[in-house]
Structure formats: C-alpha cells, structure tokens
Amino acid sequence: MAFKLKVSAPFICMMVLVLATGSNGGGISIYWGQNGNEGTLADTCATGNYEYVNIAFLATFGNGQTPMINLAGHCDPYSNGCTGLSSDIKSCQAKGVKAILSIGGGAGSYSLASSDDARQVATYLWNNFLGGTSSSRPLGPAILDGIDFDIEGGTGEYWDELAKYLSGYSKKGKKVYLTAAPQCPFPDAWIGNALKTGLFDYVWVQFYNNPPCQYSSADIANLEDAWKQWTSDIPATNIFLGLPAAPDAAGSGFIPVNDLTSKVLPAIKNSSKYGGVMLWSKYYDDQSGYSSSIKSHV
C-alpha cells in the first residue's frame, strides 16, 4: 500500500529557505609561489580544493623602485621566465578559480611615498597584470582577477589610495577583485585604513603568529572575540579565517583538523560575512593534506 504525503508549496519554500540559510558554505583560498617544490600553478588549481589562488609575491614596488616579482624556485623573472605561467593562470580561471596577484609579503621591499606613487603603482599593476597592456608583462598575457594586499611592513600610508585607484579600473570592463591579508590584532597596523574604504571583496585575516587573537590549546575565546570584531567593523563582503596549513608553516596558530571542524568553524560560520578559510601555503598543504581534510566542513 503506497502512502502519499501531501506537502504544501509554502512548506517547500520554507524548507528551501532553511537549507539555504543553514548551510553557510565557504571556499578555501591558498597562497602559491614561495616554494619551488609545491607543484605547478595549474596542478594547484586542478586539485579542486581551492576557489582562490594568491600568486605570491610582487615583493618589490613603490617609492621609485623597479617592481619585481619573486616566485622563489618556480621561475626566473629576470629572464622573463615567468611568462609561461600565463597558460596556468588561464587553466585556473577555466576551472572557476580566481587567480590573484599578492603584493607585499613578509620579506619584501615596498612602500608608497605619496598619493601619486599609489596611482603609479596602480597603473603598473593594471598594465602588467590586469586588463591593461604592456610590452613586459611578467606573467604573460593572462589577465589576473585581482590584487591581494599582503602588507606586513613599511608604513600604513596610501594603501587606501592604491585600493581606490585599482578599484576604479573595474569600470573598464572586467571587475578587479581586491583582497587583503591583515593580521588578526584589530585594527591592522598597515592596512587598517585601507580596509575602511569598503572596497575589499575578500579579507583573509591571519589568525596565526599573533597569540593574543589566535586559537590555542582548545581555547577559542580569543579567536572568537577577534573574529566578531573583524566581521562587525570591516565593510568587506567576505571575511576568511587565515591559518597555517601545517604546524611548520607558522611560528604559532596551527589548529588541528578535529579542533577546526568541531570547535572553531561551528563558532564562526554563523556570521553572514563568513567566506571560508585561507591557508598558508600550497607547499605546506601538500605536506599535511589539510585542505582535503577540511574541505567538506568549510
């Protein structure tokens, strides 16, 4: 005997709504480029684990310096050896992965001397990595999806100006995504003002190497407090939990997979600004398999 359950349309709509709001899924952002043993950019995107790949780093720029990209052992920019990455970038984008150029880094030589300097750097980035034209594009003709501000030195001045100039190029066709990797102590010492502009699409906050606001020994309180401050005070569309992909990837702040999936993510995913998890870096992720272990929970 068949039993038929009659379900009203409003009930179905309600269930769909519950499912949509109850599954606040996010993506994984990865940094690639600082270890020649981490595989190719194309292979990185082919894993299917990442929605965003930050190509790191344009480590020298601003204040009259000749801009120079540094991709460790992957290629030699001095002999135009990184232009071959163009096909990898297009391969990533064909898979729906956003390919972003990360500027700065922990050991770079960079600063902005003035608003005009910020404008010149924005023009350089547009012509050499985004939708503009230049005879010397370091990564070849592929058009990257945006620029990541990983500013960890110099001064905090004029980064807001750089963000405004770069954002203006979105009016020329393809949107220029702006992302940033501030430290978790709020506000960030270098790009705190830039983040107030509301121009950043994705902000992956580094919850590591910062004991006052990171997870430690099963204590989630400091991380949760910092997370709430970031998500309430920064006008960004998506905030990400930035983590080391392995214990050796950072001095402190590594969260074991079980702790992340059972304690940390459940505590932060209810935020409407939750965007996912950022990992440093592809090399360490290869060692630990971290992204594969957390992907279904992010």
Asked whether residue 21 carries a pLDDT value surpassing 80, the answer given is no
Question: Architecture of 27-295 per CATH?
Answer: Alpha-Beta Barrel (3.20)
Q: How confident is residue 19, by pLDDT bands cut at 50, 70 and 90?
A: very low
Residue 158's pLDDT is what? 98
pLDDT at residue 11 is higher than 70: no
Give 24's pLDDT tier (boundaries 50, 70, 90): low
111 falls in which pLDDT band (50, 70, 90)? very high
Residue 13 — pLDDT band, cuts 50, 70, 90? very low
Listed residue (274, 284, 281, 220) closest to 27, CA to CA: 274
Q: 10-40 burial, b for 16+ CB within 10 Å, e for fewer?
A: eeeeeeeeeeeeeebebbbbbbbbbbeebbe
Percentage of residues in the chain having pLDDT higher than 70: 92
Instruction: Specify whether the CB–CB gap between 208 and 214 falls below 8 A.
Output: yes
- Per-residue pLDDT, averaged over 129-152, amounts to 98
For 218, the 3-state DSSP assignment is: coil
8 Å CB contact between 278 and 242: yes
Q: In this structure, are strands 68-69 and 52-61 parallel, antiparallel, or unpaired? A: antiparallel
The pLDDT > 90 percentage for the chain reads 90
Helical pair 159-168 and 115-129, crossing angle rounded to 10 deg? 40
Per-residue pLDDT, averaged over 257-278, amounts to 97
Helix (H, G, I), strand (E, B) or coil at 277: strand
User: What pLDDT is attached to residue 25?
Assistant: 86
**If you average pLDDT over every residue of the chain, what do you get?**
93
Q: Is the pLDDT of residue 144 over 50?
A: yes
DSSP state of 67: P
Say which residues have a Cβ less than 8 Å from residue 6's Cβ, sequence separation at least 6: none
Give pLDDT tens digits for 232-248.
Answer: 999 999 999 999 999 99
- Find out whether 231 and 263 touch, Cβ atoms under 8 Å: no
Q: Which of 38, 51, 152, 161 is catalytic?
A: 152
Number of H helices, E strands in the chain: 11, 10
Q: pLDDT tens, 161-201? A: 999 999 999 999 899 999 999 999 999 999 999 999 999 99
Question: Is the pLDDT confidence value at 6 over 50?
Answer: no
Mean pLDDT of 13-40: 73
- Residue 16 pLDDT > 60, yes or no? no
5 pLDDT higher than 50: no
pLDDT at 222 over 50: yes
Q: Is 51 a catalytic residue?
A: no
User: Tens digit of pLDDT for each residue in 86-109?
Assistant: 999 999 999 999 999 999 999 999
Residue 94, burial from CB neighbour count under 10 angstroms (0-12, 13-18, 19+): exposed
pLDDT at 12 > cutoff 80 = no
